[in-house]
């Protein structure tokens, strides 16, 4: 089969690889009908996530049709149409039983490695380095799905692949980011980063009752999307002297009630701070550039919440913990417990409260995935979201 | 039940494994520096064993020991403390929490024939009756280790203790305790092992140096134990990608020797303890 493989920094290729097989009793194999490139895949492309190996198949936003089942999967049938949550969860450990699926105890075969780095291991993730399990990803023609009785979500026939695909990651991720904000009536929510997760965080904040959402980015077409489809107030951070001051002025001096960092470890800084962070990251004095996070903490109103769906992987520096402490902020973060959100968000789609297809800007064949990666990374051709269809 | 149920006093409850010991004299940086410097001093002696180089090498070994053990060698010699502070053998303690009641976790372990399914290196375990059992374990570099063991303590749903009989490839004893975790979090499984590396004092030193790796192995096997009881299978990424990388094939091999059982969560019936 064809699959998109990682070869090194800036180097991904479509190769012919063997098809996956059933290895464990709770496995399923799906024929991929649609997958997508995630913003977090760009961290892999740029080499900021350690423990990648040449030949690793990428992709964790996947849906398809069941073609083979292990003997312990009883709730699926061959031919079922399924969306695959990107967090692999066993369904039976303490964390899964408490719906904290992305913290599953049992799905990372390289748990020892993760324990060394993070103290404990969280769930395995498709195509996201060996630290997160070394699972093959879904930017391929076929995908092996472990614990398929828990990790393959059956979807109805009357909705299109494009409407359903984002249940695998970014819609739940944006939604959990907004849910973590504990939105109250009248709340103003500021969202840093108007990529796909930011767009869904904006939409979700409104679904959860936010009064107003302020969208922060510098890419015109993304701000435009946030404004037109997301109904947010756009703020171009390159056009203002200080984002923090601008946000305070837009909220009567209070600051946003909640701030969402949908940017993560590869934030674009500007000026001296930006150069400082870039330089430290290059020599690995810090692994992540927390520009957006710093601003979010600085801007947030007293007693507010900073919610972090943007991916961080290592160590950051000069985080204004004094501001967070002094203002009594709540910080919430983590990988998305996707399985928890699939059913309720499917209902939002079915009821027509949101049509997730608006973020798709590019539809490519799987064989063109490498160009898709570069276009998405460089934000060429007004690229916001690339979906990939195997031939 | 013939096994005695006396509390095994031969493993002290709060003995830390070597790398967690609190009685070290040196800080982390000093230990690393000492180990690294020792390595550098050792190298010339290995390449070109002249008298001077061998002398330096001996100094190097001392420094490596000092770094690994975290003890000041000069101070130890002066005060007459034993260089190896573990006179009775090497000890390892590890724990994991399993989201199942103690009865179930105990029953899985007590059915010793289950253990080869979860412990990568255990090729076979057979109960011989009377609390005795026979074990075949894969050792390093294709060697096979064998021993007979006796169950010394058997408190259903609480604890199993064992000890090898004379003639074992590696003499060891250990216990596993099953303690209900607070707030319905399942069962805390605490394993303690005490073993004597073969090969006298030198073997002991090598064993001491290797003990962090043994510890990692013990932890990995306990993780497998949890995987099988909770999720019914051991996660694998064998065949994760197309290239024939050695480690991927190794994983596939390991996988093929593992036979998944159909009844998740209740592997091995809750059979009567035939001790």
| Most confident by average pLDDT, A219-223, B112-116, B232-236 | A219-223
Hey, is B191 helix, strand or coil? strand
Q: What pLDDT is attached to residue B88? A: 53
Give the model's confidence band at B23: pLDDT under 50 very low, under 70 low, under 90 confident, else very high. Answer: low
Locate the chain B residue with the closest alpha carbon to A5: B241
Q: CB B203: neighbour CB atoms within 10 A? A: 12
Q: What pLDDT is attached to residue B84? A: 53
Q: What pLDDT is attached to residue B252? A: 45
Q: Is residue B185 within 8 angstroms of chain A, CB to CB? A: yes
Locate the chain A residue with the closest alpha carbon to B100: A93
Give the containing element (helix H, strand E) for B224: helix B200-231
Distance CA B209, CA B221 (A): 20
Cite the DSSP H helix spans in chain A: 39-45, 94-97, 111-118, 148-151, 161-164, 170-179, 196-207, 220-228, 243-250, 271-282, 291-299, 321-326, 338-350, 369-378
B-chain CB neighbours of A133 within 8 Å are 235, 237
Q: What pLDDT is attached to residue A317? A: 83
Strand order in the sheet with A212-217: A233-236, A212-217, A188-192, A258-261, A305-308, A330-333
Q: CB B270: neighbour CB atoms within 10 A? A: 13
Statement: residue A79 has pLDDT above 50: yes
On the 0-12 / 13-18 / 19+ scale of CB atoms within 10 A, A279 is exposed
Residue A302 has phi, psi (to 5 degrees) of -55, 135
Locate the chain A residue with the closest alpha carbon to B228: A106
User: Cβ of B239 and A133 within 8 Å?
Assistant: no
A-chain CB neighbours of B220 within 8 Å are 112
B168–chain A nearest CA distance, Å? 30
- Beta pairing class for A188-192 and A212-217: parallel
A-chain CB neighbours of B216 within 8 Å are 112
Distance CA A224, CA B182 (A): 52
Give the model's confidence band at B25: pLDDT under 50 very low, under 70 low, under 90 confident, else very high. Answer: low
User: Cβ of B241 and A93 within 8 Å?
Assistant: no
- Structure token digits, residue B84: 């190896």
A-chain CB neighbours of B219 within 8 Å are 112
User: Cβ of B241 and A55 within 8 Å?
Assistant: yes
Give the model's confidence band at A233: pLDDT under 50 very low, under 70 low, under 90 confident, else very high. Answer: very high
- Pseudo-torsion of CA B177, B180, B181, B186, nearest 10°? 100
User: Cβ of A93 and B231 within 8 Å?
Assistant: yes
Give the model's confidence band at A78: pLDDT under 50 very low, under 70 low, under 90 confident, else very high. Answer: very high
Option in B97, B227, B236 nearest A23 (CB) = B236
Q: What is the pTM of this model?
A: 0.82
pLDDT in tens, A283-299: 766 777 889 999 999 99
Residue B207 has phi, psi (to 5 degrees) of -60, -40
Q: What pLDDT is attached to residue B83? A: 57
Burial B36-73 (b: 16+ CB within 10 A, else e): ebbeebbebbeeeeeeebeebbebbbbbbbbbbbbbbb
B235–chain A nearest CA distance, Å? 5
Option in A5, A18, A134 nearest B237 (CB) = A134
B215, B231, B251, best to mutate vs chain A, most A CBs in 10 Å: B231
Option in A18, A94, A112 nearest B99 (CB) = A94
Give contacts of B 15-74 with A, CB under 8 A.
none
Locate the chain A residue with the closest alpha carbon to B259: A24
Statement: residue A86 has pLDDT above 50: yes
Report chain A's mean pLDDT, rounded to a whole number.
Answer: 95
- Structure token digits, residue A356: 């997730």
Give the model's confidence band at A282: pLDDT under 50 very low, under 70 low, under 90 confident, else very high. Answer: confident
Shortest CA distance to B251 belongs to which of B232, B224, B229?
A: B224
Give contacts of B 187-246 with A, CB under 8 A.
216, 219-220, 223, 226-227, 230-243, 245
Locate the chain B residue with the closest alpha carbon to A136: B240
B-chain CB neighbours of A129 within 8 Å are none
What's the rounded mean pLDDT across residues A18-40? 95
User: Cβ of A57 and B186 within 8 Å?
Assistant: no
Option in A72, A111, A112 nearest B262 (CB) = A72
Option in B185, B242, B255 nearest A94 (CB) = B185
B243–chain A nearest CA distance, Å? 6
> Which residues 6+ apart lie within 8 Å of A16 measured at CB?
A1, A2, B242
Q: Are A262 and A270 in contact (CB under 8 A)?
A: no
What's the rounded mean pLDDT across residues B69-75? 73
Q: Are A147 and A96 in contact (CB under 8 A)?
A: no
Give contacts of B 74-93 with A, CB under 8 A.
none
Locate the chain B residue with the closest alpha carbon to A137: B240
Shortest CA distance to A349 belongs to which of A99, A84, A162?
A: A162
Residues of A engaging B, defined by a Cβ cutoff of 8 Å: 3, 5, 15-18, 20-21, 23-26, 53-57, 71-72, 88, 90-94, 97, 105-109, 111-112, 124, 133-136, 146-147
Option in A56, A90, A111 nearest B231 (CB) = A90
User: Cβ of B235 and A93 within 8 Å?
Assistant: no
Residue B105 has phi, psi (to 5 degrees) of -70, -40
Statement: residue B240 has pLDDT above 70: no
**Interhelix angle A220-228/A196-207, nearest 10 degrees:** 20
B-chain CB neighbours of A17 within 8 Å are 241-242
Integer angstrom CA distances of residue A251 from A242, A248, A275, A363, B109: 14, 5, 30, 39, 61
Locate the chain A residue with the closest alpha carbon to B248: A134
Q: Are B250 and A142 in contact (CB under 8 A)?
A: no
Shortest CA distance to A189 belongs to which of A238, A262, A241?
A: A262
A296-300, B69-73, B117-121, B187-191 — which is least confidently predicted?
Answer: B69-73
Can you give the three-state secondary structure of B72-92, one letter per residue? CHHHHHHHCCCCCCCCCCEEE
A112–chain B nearest CA distance, Å? 7
Q: Are A265 and A311 in contact (CB under 8 A)?
A: yes
A109, A110, A111, A113, best to mutate vs chain B, most B CBs in 10 Å: A109
- Structure token digits, residue A132: 């997160």
A104-118, A245-259, A261-275, A327-341 — which is least confidently predicted?
Answer: A261-275
User: Cβ of A17 and B242 within 8 Å?
Assistant: yes
Higher pLDDT, residue B70 or B264: B70
Q: Give the largest CA-CA distance in chain B.
A: 65
> Which residues 6+ apart lie within 8 Å of B241 measured at CB?
A5, A17, A53, A55, A56, A57, A136, B248
Locate the chain A residue with the closest alpha carbon to B237: A135
Statement: residue B235 has pLDDT above 60: yes
Higher pLDDT, residue B201 or A45: A45
Q: What pLDDT is attached to residue A308? A: 97
A87-101, A164-178, B156-170 — which is least confidently predicted?
Answer: B156-170
Q: What pLDDT is attached to residue B81? A: 63
A93-107, A316-330, B226-240 — which is least confidently predicted?
Answer: B226-240
Q: What pLDDT is attached to residue B134? A: 96
């Amino acid at each position: 089969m064809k699959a998109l493989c990682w070869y090194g920094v800036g180097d991904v290729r479509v190769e012919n690889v063997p098809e996956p097989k059933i290895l464990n009793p709770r496995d399923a194999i799906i024929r991929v009908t649609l997958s997508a490139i995630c913003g977090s895949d760009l961290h892999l492309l740029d080499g900021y996530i350690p423990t990648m190996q040449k030949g690793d198949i990428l992709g964790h936003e996947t849906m398809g049709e069941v073609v083979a089942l292990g003997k312990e999967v009883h709730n699926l049938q061959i031919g079922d149409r399924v969306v695959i949550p990107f967090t692999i969860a066993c369904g039976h450990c303490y964390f899964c039983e408490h719906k904290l699926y992305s913290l599953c105890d049992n799905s990372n075969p390289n748990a020892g490695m993760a324990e060394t780095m993070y103290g404990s291991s969280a769930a395995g993730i498709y195509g996201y380095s060996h630290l997160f399990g070394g699972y093959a990803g879904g930017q391929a023609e076929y995908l092996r799905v472990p614990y398929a009785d828990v990790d393959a979500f059956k979807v109805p026939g009357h909705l299109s692949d494009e409407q359903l695909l984002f249940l695998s990651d970014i819609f739940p991720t944006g939604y959990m980011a907004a849910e973590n904000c504990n939105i109250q009536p009248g709340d103003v929510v500021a969202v840093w980063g108007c990529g796909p997760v930011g767009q869904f965080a904006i939409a979700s904040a409104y679904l959860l009752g936010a009064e107003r959402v302020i969208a922060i980015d510098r890419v015109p077409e993304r701000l435009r999307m946030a404004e037109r489809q997301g109904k947010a107030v756009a703020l171009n951070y390159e056009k203002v002297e200080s984002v923090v001051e601008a946000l305070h002025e837009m909220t009567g001096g209070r600051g946003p009630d909640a701030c969402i960092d949908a940017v993560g470890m590869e934030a674009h800084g500007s000026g001296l701070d930006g150069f400082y962070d870039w330089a430290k990251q290059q020599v690995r004095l810090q692994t992540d550039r927390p520009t957006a996070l710093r601003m979010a903490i600085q801007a947030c109103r007293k007693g507010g919440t900073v919610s972090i769906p943007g991916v961080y992987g290592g160590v950051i520096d000069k985080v204004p913990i004094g501001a967070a402490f002094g203002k009594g902020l709540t910080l919430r973060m983590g990988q998305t417990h996707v399985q928890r959100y699939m059913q309720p968000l499917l209902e939002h789609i079915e009821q027509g409260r949101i049509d997730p297809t608006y973020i798709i800007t590019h539809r490519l064949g799987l064989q063109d995935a490498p160009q898709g990666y570069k276009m998405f990374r460089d934000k060429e051709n007004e690229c916001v979201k690339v979906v990939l269809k195997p031939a | 039940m013939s096994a005695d149920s006396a509390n095994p006093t031969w493993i002290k409850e709060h003995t830390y494994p070597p790398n967690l010991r609190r009685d070290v004299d040196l800080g982390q940086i000093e230990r690393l520096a000492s180990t690294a410097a020792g390595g550098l001093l050792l190298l010339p002696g290995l390449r070109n064993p002249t008298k001077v180089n061998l002398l330096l090498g001996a100094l190097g070994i001392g420094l490596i020991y000092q770094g690994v053990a975290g003890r000041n060698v000069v101070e130890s010699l002066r005060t007459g403390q034993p260089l190896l502070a573990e006179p009775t053998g090497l000890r390892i303690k590890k724990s994991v929490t399993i989201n199942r009641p103690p009865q179930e976790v105990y029953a899985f372990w007590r059915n010793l024939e289950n253990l080869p399914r979860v412990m990568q290196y255990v090729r076979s375990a057979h109960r011989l009756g009377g609390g005795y059992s026979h074990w075949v374990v894969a050792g390093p570099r294709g060697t096979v280790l064998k021993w007979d063991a006796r169950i010394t303590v058997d408190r259903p749903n609480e604890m199993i203790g064992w000890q090898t009989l004379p003639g074992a490839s590696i003499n060891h004893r250990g216990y596993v305790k099953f303690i209900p975790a607070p707030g319905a979090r399942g069962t805390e499984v605490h394993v303690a092992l005490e073993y004597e590396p073969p090969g006298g004092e030198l073997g002991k030193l090598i064993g001491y140096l290797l003990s962090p790796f043994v510890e990692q192995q013990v932890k990995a096997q306990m993780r497998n134990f949890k995987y099988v009881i909770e999720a019914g299978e051991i996660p694998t990424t064998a065949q994760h990608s197309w290239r024939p990388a050695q480690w991927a094939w190794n994983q596939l091999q390991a996988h093929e020797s593992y036979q998944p059982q159909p009844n998740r969560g209740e592997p091995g019936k809750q059979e009567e303890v035939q001790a």
